[in-house]
Amino acid sequence: MTATPLSSARILLVVGGGIAAYKSLELIRRLRDHGTTVRVVMTAAAKHFITPLSAATLSGEPVRDELFSLTDESLIGHIELSRAADLVVVAPATANLLARMAGGLADDLATTLLLATDKRTLVAPAMNVRMWEHAATQRNVERLKADGVLFVGPEAGPMACGEFGPGRLAEPPAIIEAIERALAAGALLDDWRPRSRGPLSGRHVIVTSGPTYEPIDPVRFLGNRSSGRQGHAIAQAALSADARVTLVSGPVSLPDPIGATVIHVETAVEMRAAVEAALPADAFIGAAAVADWRVETVAGAKIKKGDRGSPTVRLVENPDILAEICNNKASRPAVVIGFAAETEDVAANASAKLHRKGCDLIVANSVAKGTSTFGGATNQVQLIDAKGAESWPSMSKADVADRIIRRLAVELSKRQ
């Protein structure tokens, strides 16, 4: 089975008590087919429609239904249960369950979990059409949406009660599609609560980060000390400002920022190809420490110590990704920001780099011996534009990233 967001996901499925509860069994089966871990919690009413045994058999996990169960609580507490999931799915959600959720009640295990979770919740309502259309239900739905709860369905059609209209549970494939979308957008509740749109909303930002590794032979490479922390922090700050972010990263030991499209590369040539493929963009930020040279002829087999003495490695120049982006007539991003790692005359060298490469801003830092730029948590930079240099105090890489992104937003709005 190929790895997908679904195959590694852990879903907490709350089954409410409605005639559509039987479809939750199919949902469990299909999720399991994708490799998803599904833990099921049933309301008391749900047990009138399906048995805990069927849900446990299909999910391969014990089913929980009691808030005050001494055996269950000693195995895994209800708070932990609500947080050990990537997503909470309520299917079917009855009118009663929606009302209890909207009111913040915690009078059984299901509602207690829904209140205690720090993860997003996806709700698939199912009820009689009049119940769905009732002002009270609609009010509850609006309130839950305002709280950031996601909805899939209900669908319109003939109902078990003989009436016709909206109220049918969304079909399992549609619920699974909604689960995939929810997982792709990030896991934490705070990340998706509705809020005002960030200053980079609607913008596409490409960020390069980390070092490049230039192979010498199958086991050796030329690299550098970049950790990728500054570049990844910039990608994260751009995401927080609501940008669509493509992060092209060299080999680093950092997690991928949630919500970014991350392309992992090794060499400068691969990095250039990934950046070009990600265009067009509103902004490009080149934070990677791209190797200036690569080995002209990479040995196909490991170079051995032999009697021919030490090997000579001939280097050829790598493409300058930043300069190429600046001079890309067809699709130069509106704002291009480069970095300059200098060991001496930081401002003067960086300013020369700005003009030589043709970028709009340069973030210059000293990588002289004794500085914490490479691998450290803090950074002390100067921001250079065509008019001059601005020195920023030493601050965390996350704060440097935030300031760069705020400045980017200003530059972009000037160019509109």
Please report which helix (H) or strand (E) contains residue 208, including its range. Answer: strand 204-209
Contact 276, 263 (CB under 8 A): no
Q: Which of 161, 184, 219, 368 is catalytic?
A: 161
Q: Is 161 an annotated catalytic residue?
A: yes
Coil, strand or helix at 301: coil
Note whether 228 binds ligand CTP by CB under 6 A.
no
Note whether 46 binds ligand CTP by CB under 6 A.
no
Q: Is the Cβ of residue 122 or residue 288 nearer to ligand CTP in the bound state?
A: 288
Name residues contacting ligand CTP, limited to 229-268 (CB under 6 A). 268
CA-to-CA dists, residue 139 to 102, 107, 142, angstroms: 9, 21, 5
Q: Which region, left, alpha or beta, applies to residue 88 given φ > 0 means left and ψ of -120 to 50 means alpha?
A: beta
Note whether 320 binds ligand CTP by CB under 6 A.
yes
**Chain centroid to CA 118:** 16
Task: List the beta bridge partners of residue 377.
Answer: none
Note whether 85 binds ligand CTP by CB under 6 A.
no
**How many residues sit in the footprint of ligand CTP (CB under 6 A)?**
14
Contact 219, 122 (CB under 8 A): no
Q: Considering the complex, what minimum distance in angstroms separates the CB of residue 59 from ligand CTP?
A: 48
Strands (E), 211-300: 214-215, 221-222, 244-249, 261-264, 283-286, 293-295
Q: Is the Cβ of residue 96 or residue 349 nearer to ligand CTP in the bound state?
A: 349
Name residues contacting ligand CTP, limited to 392-411 (CB under 6 A). none
> Using the rule CB under 6 A, which residue among 252, 262, 288, 326 binds ligand CTP?
288
> Using the rule CB under 6 A, which residue among 28, 169, 321, 404 binds ligand CTP?
321
List Cβ neighbours of 414 (8 Å cut-off, separation of 6 or more).
Answer: none
Q: Considering the complex, what minimum distance in angstroms separates the CB of residue 285 from ligand CTP?
A: 8
Name residues contacting ligand CTP, limited to 151-190 (CB under 6 A). none
Q: Considering the complex, what minimum distance in angstroms separates the CB of residue 270 from ligand CTP?
A: 12
Question: Whole-angstrom Cα distance, residue 248 to residue 242?
Answer: 18
> Using the rule CB under 6 A, which residue among 28, 265, 274, 340 binds ligand CTP?
340
Token couple for 333: 């991003």
Coil, strand or helix at 36: coil
Token couple for 69: 């169960």
Q: Considering the complex, what minimum distance in angstroms separates the CB of residue 238 from ligand CTP?
A: 16
Name residues contacting ligand CTP, limited to 49-68 (CB under 6 A). none
Note whether 341 binds ligand CTP by CB under 6 A.
yes
Q: Considering the complex, what minimum distance in angstroms separates the CB of residue 257 from ligand CTP?
A: 18
Note whether 270 binds ligand CTP by CB under 6 A.
no
Question: Whole-angstrom Cα distance, residue 153 to residue 168?
Answer: 8
Q: Helix 95-103 to helix 135-146 angle, to the nearest 10 degrees? A: 50
Q: Is the Cβ of residue 172 or residue 210 nearer to ligand CTP in the bound state?
A: 210
Binding site for ligand CTP (CB under 6 A): 208, 268, 286, 288, 290, 292, 318, 320-322, 338-341
The residues annotated as belonging to the active site are 161
